[in-house]
Chain A
Amino acid sequence: MVGITSAGAYVPIYRLARGDIARVWAGGRGVAVAGERAVANFDEDTISMAVEASIDCLKGIDREQIDGLYFASTTAPYREKQSATMVAEALDLRREIFTADFTDSLRAGTNAMRAAIDAVKAGSAKKVLVTAADCRLGALQSEYEQNFGDGAVAILISNSGVIASVEGSYSHSNDIIDLWRTDTNTFVNASEDRFSVTYGYLENVQEGVSKLLERYNLSPKDFAKAALYAFDARRHLELARNLGFDAKTQLQDSLFNTVGNTGAAYALMILAATLEEAKAGDRILFTSYGDGCDAYILQATDKIGKLKGRKGIKGHVASKLPLPDYTKYLRYRSLLGELALAGEPVATINWRERNWSVRCHGSKCRECGKIEWPIQRICAYCGAKDNYDEVRLSDKKLTLTTFSKDSLARSVDPPIIVCIASIEGGGRFYAHMTDRDPDKVEVGMPLELTFRRLYSKDDIHTYSWKMRPIR
């Protein structure tokens, strides 16, 4: 039996009230969409968010057993160069795994899911991690600027320990110019929505669902929940009504009012939320949309309770900070220009230092047992030379030893909170604190590590770990 064996999610901590966006454009097309949208911090992108969701998904699971990682996004940080590789290294996965990126379509998330299911079925892999993330830019002053949200999701596909089995699937492809972007476009282009919603979203998903139900001889009343991709809140309801699902009892919340449309990650995020609430035996209808439709019938098994203990969608949606204003959003997305960076090229350094900087390995001395980060060849405590084991520290908790709030250094999000923290189990960590309220930083506070983009220079993105207050 192939299916989902775990799921995790990530929603950035910042939320921007849609009314705050509309207010900036008041007098023009300043119509507010209801609710708020998630906004990735300035140091986040689809790679870093996918790492977060994957860590959530892999809680309690031996990472050595993962033998494939598929990354899906329409906004991968590079146009040429794989992103799954960086996600895999940050997760400290084995080197001998198969990695792939699925891109260019809002359906990329479920495309990757399908490929993972097929790989497990074919026996070429046993446990494939599928992670999807998006951070899309809606055109300024357009409804998409308000509709879109940033987020990520991860599901583990395997044939053992399944919490939701794949009972059936259906896919079709459809070429339509509804939402699109070339490699030189900053913002997503959109056709007139009455055209694209009618002949794109509604027609394709309705077709997908009816073909799927027909194929397996099921009807809407056979499902506990329908996890449906939402173009927006209104069209989501329209779709459910057209399909014959009861909006109150069967329709899974689309997260549209709390997170927003998260692109290639969106359908899987709605599915992750569904699984968090599912009971054993629940049958779930699941669809994506984008250049066609992928539709699935899933059924929760008696192992569905294993999902507990993850932050998931629910935990992340509840954990939030208000983004004070729209200007911050513009700065976070570099829409007001980039900060110039000094320093040397980093390709060689990033590669050479990756075990401590990306895999977050420290050195654990074989002679005195002490841990140091970054990896030290000579033990800072006992002086032993080259006699250590590398240990992963990214899942450790920390305690803040000292900090400063630097208002002098230029930053997208001043002040820079620079910290020295003690790692649970030994060692020190030196990094910036992110996702924080500068007025609530104090010596002794508990912290956790989060994978972030430190800076971008010469079109090279440098990633490593920062600290944040426990979410």
Chain B
Amino acid sequence: MSGSIKDRVAIAGMGCTRFGERWDTGTNDLLVEAAYQAFEDAGIEPKDVEAAWLGTSSSGGTGMTLAEPLRLQYIPITRVENACATASEAFRNAAYAVAAGIHDIVLAIGVEKFKDSGMSGMGGGGTDGPGHAMLSQGLPPRQFAMLATTYFSRYGLSFEEGKHMIGRVSWKSHKNGALTRNAHFQKEVSMETILNAPMIAWPLGLYDCCGVSDGAAAAIITTPKIAKRLRKGKEPPVFAKALQIAISPRDGNYNSKYDWTHVEATVRAAERAYKEAGITNPREEISMAEVHDCFSITEAVTMEDLRFSPRGKVKDDIESGRFDLDGAQPIQLDGGLKCFGHPVGASGLRMMYEMYMQLQGRADEVLNPGMPSRQIKNPKLGLTHNLGGSPDGCAIFVGIVGLEGV
């Protein structure tokens, strides 16, 4: 790998809509809401945008999905899709265009309007039918439940121990989500409720699963020089340190060596990202992260795949509160997918937005009124992670953003 994105592009502004069941809001409204927040934050006009990358999984086709509501005038727009990594993929491609010197100011935006589809939960209401090469790959809960089954079995966790570990993941996220104004679910949930919730796909219960929602998020990406000019007198810009994608060849279904206690693509993407960003000890160097907690077990395993926790030991870190908002390495500071739901095309930029706001010390701009501060102290580097697909085969994004000079 010859090139690195580190410090070659910066985020001059970001926007993020409220996520949730936004029955009164369409795709166009979500795009306008997120984009204009970002324009305002960066202090630019829509006409300053030279090119755009639009991430959406199923809420639109071509770049016109974005050009039409924003009335963008004949600029290049690329529609991007890479499953749950879609928004991050839009960000990565937009960043590369700036780094390549082709464009100065570009827009990366992700949107998903799920609640017009009649889908009430992650894959809910569906049943097995013809799918990929005849065999249905099945609904997400069962795919990730298989990760839990194997993890519990390999590390000798009883059902109760394993269930408590993943339950604690969701408990923490709900605690954070309760503070966050943009979250879909803004409510704490007790461990008792979590542990006794109905089973969705054994061993995953209701609170081990994230919801489905509508939302959009956007970033204005530009050169470091322009970013500093645009943000003069405001909080400093946030710099890209690493942007990595790893796509797995679905080894979990074919390769007997694939152990189903980790997600290899996350490991590969993370190691490349750490190298790109010059990070050797992510457990100590990464201040905070938003990871793909589509299911509680996914977050737990991801902590090991990112080397935030030693292999097989994440339980200790989860149970001791290391990943809580006031812990040593807070994860899902805004409540994660668990509380924001997962509008596939928007989630990656929603995560990036949280890192951006925390790095600039602005987290309380989206604080729920009357709640204690959700701003963490002096974050330097934030990591975002998406897992598109299932544990056996997926599209993984790992990105690292941080302040200048870190």
Interface residues of A (CB under 8 A from B): 339-346, 349-350, 353, 357, 372-374, 376, 380-381, 401-411, 415-416, 418, 420, 422, 426-428, 430-432, 443-444, 454-455, 457, 462, 464
Contacts and interface: CB of A to CB of B under 8 A. Distances in A.
Contact of B126 (A346, A410, A415, A444): A410
B255 interface: yes
A426 B142 contact: no
Contacts of B123: 408-409
B130 interface: yes
B304 to A, nearest CB: 17
B256 A407 contact: no
A336 to B, nearest CB: 15
A410 B127 contact: yes
28 contacts: A340-B127, A341-B129, A341-B130, A346-B134, A349-B130, A349-B134, A353-B134, A372-B254, A373-B254, A401-B260, A402-B147, A404-B143, A404-B204, A406-B139, A406-B141, A406-B200, A408-B123, A408-B124, A410-B126, A418-B138, A418-B143, A427-B256, A428-B256, A443-B150, A443-B153, A444-B153, A455-B128, A464-B135
Given A343-B129, A373-B254, A404-B204, 10 more contacts: A343-B130, A343-B136, A349-B130, A374-B133, A409-B126, A411-B128, A430-B135, A443-B149, A454-B128, A455-B129
Contact of A404 (B130, B133, B145, B258): B145
Contacts of A415: 199, 201-202
Contacts of A372: 254-255
Given A349-B134, A380-B249, A402-B150, A407 B202 contact: yes
Nearest to A380: B254
Interface string B112-134: 00000000010111111111011
B54 interface: no
A380 B200 contact: no
Given A381-B255, A411-B127, A406 B133 contact: no
A408 B139 contact: yes
Given A343-B129, A349-B133, A350-B134, A427 B146 contact: no
Given A404-B145, A409-B142, A418-B142, A457 B133 contact: no
A345 B252 CA distance: 27
Contacts of A411: 127-128
Nearest to A444: B153
A157 B121 CA distance: 55
Counting chain A CB atoms within 10 Å of each CB, the highest count among B133, B134, B392 belongs to B134
Nearest to A465: B135
A443 B147 CA distance: 12
Contacts of B128: 341, 409, 411, 416, 432, 454-455
B251 interface: yes
Nearest to B141: A408
Contacts of B148: 404
B117 to A, nearest CB: 12
A418 B198 CA distance: 19
Counting chain A CB atoms within 10 Å of each CB, the highest count among B135, B138, B147 belongs to B135
Interface residues of B, number: 42
Nearest to A418: B142
A116 to B, nearest CB: 33
Nearest to A432: B128
Interface string B189-226: 00000000011111010000000000000000000000
Nearest to A401: B260
Counting chain B CB atoms within 10 Å of each CB, the highest count among A406, A408, A426 belongs to A408
Given A380-B249, A420-B252, A457 B142 contact: no
Interface in B372-395: 392
A376 B251 CA distance: 11
A457 B129 contact: yes
Contact of B130 (A344, A373, A374, A422): A344
B298 to A, nearest CB: 13
A407 to B, nearest CB: 5
B127 A341 contact: yes
Counting chain B CB atoms within 10 Å of each CB, the highest count among A350, A427, A430 belongs to A430
Lowest 3 CB-CB distances: which A-B pairs, in order?
A404-B145, A343-B129, A343-B130
A363 B141 CA distance: 30
A180 B147 CA distance: 52
Nearest to B145: A404
B253 interface: yes
A431 B133 CA distance: 13
Given A372-B254, A427-B256, A428-B253, A408 B134 contact: no
Contact of A401 (B130, B150, B201): B150
B131 A343 contact: yes
A403 B153 CA distance: 11
Nearest to B138: A418
Contacts of B147: 402
Nearest to B144: A404
B97 to A, nearest CB: 32
Interface string B250-281: 01111110101000000000000000000000
Nearest to B260: A402
Contacts of A349: 130, 133-134
A455 to B, nearest CB: 6
B254 A376 contact: yes
B199 A428 contact: no
A166 to B, nearest CB: 42
A455 B130 contact: yes
B138 A409 contact: yes
Nearest to B131: A343
Given A372-B254, A420-B252, A428-B255, A403 B146 contact: yes
Counting chain A CB atoms within 10 Å of each CB, the highest count among B123, B139, B145, B146 belongs to B146
Contacts of A401: 150, 260
A430 B137 CA distance: 9
Counting chain A CB atoms within 10 Å of each CB, the highest count among B133, B139, B256 belongs to B256
Contacts of B143: 404, 418
B142 A404 contact: yes
Contacts of A462: 130, 134
Contacts of B121: 408
A420 B130 contact: no
B133 A409 contact: no
B126 A420 contact: no
A427 B134 contact: no
B49 to A, nearest CB: 38
Contacts of B251: 380
Nearest to B391: A402
A389 B200 CA distance: 40
Interface string B348-381: 0000000000000000000000000000000000
B260 to A, nearest CB: 5
A440 B15 CA distance: 50
Contacts of B138: 406, 409, 416, 418
Given A372-B254, A402-B146, A407 B201 contact: yes
B226 to A, nearest CB: 44
B133 to A, nearest CB: 6
A450 B248 CA distance: 30
B200 A407 contact: yes
Contacts of B392: 420
A428 B254 contact: yes
A318 B139 CA distance: 36
Contacts of A353: 133-134
Contacts of A444: 153
A357 B134 contact: yes
